[in-house]
Amino acid sequence: MEADNRQIYGVLAEFRNPKELVDAAESVKNSGYSDFDTYAPFPIHGMEKAMGVKKSPLGWIVLSGALIGMVGALALMVWVMGYEYPMNISGKPFINIPIYVPITFELTVLLAAFAATFGMIGLNKLPRFNNPLFNVERFEKASDDGFFVCIEASDDLFAEEKAEKLFRSNGATHIETVYDSE
């Protein structure tokens, strides 16, 4: 058979609505799986508990971006205005911290926003050129009105039949094995 030459990526099951998806995710987690994910067209309230997802470290990435922006802006202005190119403007002090506040604020926000955007993309391992899930035709619904769970073959407990049984007992409307692309 053709399928034998291909690597199994995981087992994908479709559910009817967000409620069923959350319940299915909870039972997958309780069965001891760790390499699984749920797919929905919008983030579902309470899914983090059902799946046992850890807190996102993104806040720390943003904080470091913000600090680089803040310290960098202050350092630049103090160096330029105090040492590199001092300008006497109406007799005001060369190093004049209150006057640096607006630009320091702007650069702090700017670098924090870059850290938030690219940090999020990085943590999600995007951009990604291909994903075995895209081999499944009905997976197109995941961005429309489909609710999916996928147990991945990389999990130690993974066995095709066992995963299918678990999904069936949770009322999956459709179950399909996902193969890696050749």
Binding to another protein (CB under 8 A): which residues in 147-166? none
Q: Does 96 participate in binding another protein (rule CB under 8 A)?
A: yes
Q: Does 107 participate in binding another protein (rule CB under 8 A)?
A: yes
Q: Does 56 participate in binding another protein (rule CB under 8 A)?
A: yes
Interface pick for another protein out of 75, 105, 165, 181 (rule CB under 8 A): 105
DSSP 107: H
**Residue 38 Ramachandran class (φ > 0 left, ψ -120 to 50 alpha, else beta):** beta
State the amino acid at position 116 in one-letter form: A
Q: Does 11 participate in binding another protein (rule CB under 8 A)?
A: no
Tell the smallest beta-carbon distance from residue 166 to another protein (Å).
Answer: 17
Residue 103, helix vs strand vs coil: helix
Q: Does 144 participate in binding another protein (rule CB under 8 A)?
A: yes
Which two three-digit tokens encode residue 180?
């890696």
Closest CA to 168 of 14, 10, 9: 14
Interface pick for another protein out of 7, 52, 59, 168 (rule CB under 8 A): 59
Unique residue bearing structure tokens 């899930």: 133
